[in-house]
Amino acid sequence: MKIIALEEHFQLAEVKEAVARLLPASHQSLYNPPTAQLEDLGDGRLQAMDAMGVDVQVLSHQASGIPQLPSAEAVALSRTINDQLAEVVRTHPDRFAGFATLPTPDPEAAARELERSVRTLGFKGAMIHGRTNDRFLDDPAFSPILEAAAVLDVPIYLHPAPPSRAVSNAYYSGFDPAVSESFATFGWGWHLDTGIHALRMVLGGVFDRYPSLQLILGHWGEMIPFYLTRFAEAMSHTTKHLQRPLADYFTQQMYFTPSGMFTLPPFQLTLQLVGADRILYSVDYPFRADDQARFFLESAPISPADKAKIAHGNAEQLLKLSL
């Protein structure tokens, strides 16, 4: 069974260093990522993929702080990332595909970079890491990016990023700094923040304005599936401005991936809500790298046909992959 994984990260050392010089210390994390694995785009990564049973990685640069940079620097660094990623994909076209990094502080430039990345570099969509200067994608300023994605017929993968400083201080502070940061980010906070981001896009009419736009959410939908029915029922009397029932936006314009969360309850809930046609696969390499990547899907209590859709078929269709 071929496996295509869609949330697989890399990092360019020069970009990391440039961002560290540009961002104030208050924007920098205490967390030390697996740097060696992130920066390896050669034999070491291919060997890890083989060990996990992953055939293809759709690569995206890890959260780098670009959404918080001045526009000019964000544009230059995004182009650097995308140009170097394109070279990696050209070197191993049967093992890698790419998601563009976009300079979201300048939405017009970001739209142009998405078009260049898709039409010239051959990328399959873009990954956006959370808010840009505390603005969500429902802000009209980001319409050029969303319109470009819709016209190009490529998805946007909405990846978590830390909540705003005010939210972190209000909700997640008061513990040892390492505890507070983990609580505010990968332990809880950035998943909630990303789910709110997607909900805002729905409530803001983004998917009515761009009915072909497709959004990908990791971590089994960033908490949304558990509360989707409650959300739809509770909001039904206040969302007359929307063209469709709330749940339809999630079953028609969103895809969901595990992001290395290899346990059955969230998978089964997501499957019941959106069906096998709306689930893609992801490992979240190198933050997750073990034999569960293949074993979880192979042992899942679903039909072989649904396994094939989730493992590779849905990704091939959505991303127009011919590998």
- Identify the bridge partners of residue 135 per DSSP, sorted by sequence position: 132
pLDDT of residue 33: 82
Distances (CA, A) of 230 to 57, 85, 210, 234, 247: 35, 41, 25, 6, 10
Phi, psi of 254 (to 5 degrees): -135, 145
140-157 per-position pLDDT tens digit? 999 999 999 999 999 999
Cα–Cα dist 83/174, whole Å: 42
Q: If you search the block for the tokens 């290395």, which residue do you land on?
A: 260
Reported as half-sphere exposure (CB side, CA atoms, 13 A), residue 1 has a value of 21
CATH code of residue 65: 3.20.20.140
Task: Provide the token pair at 1.
Answer: 């069974």
Q: Which helix (H) or strand (E) holds 110?
A: helix 107-119
pTM equals 0.97
Cα–Cα dist 261/53, whole Å: 16
pLDDT of residue 29: 61
Residues of the chain with pLDDT under 70: 25-31
Strand stretches in 164-315, DSSP E? 215-217, 254-256
pLDDT of residue 63: 85
Range of the domain at 285: 4-319
pLDDT of residue 24: 74
Cα–Cα dist 58/311, whole Å: 13
Instruction: Give the closest residue to 189 by CA, choosing from 156, 197, 23.
Output: 197
Q: If you search the block for the tokens 């859709």, which residue do you land on?
A: 309
Distances (CA, A) of 292 to 95, 168, 234, 282: 20, 32, 37, 11
Per the structure, the count of domains in the chain is: 1
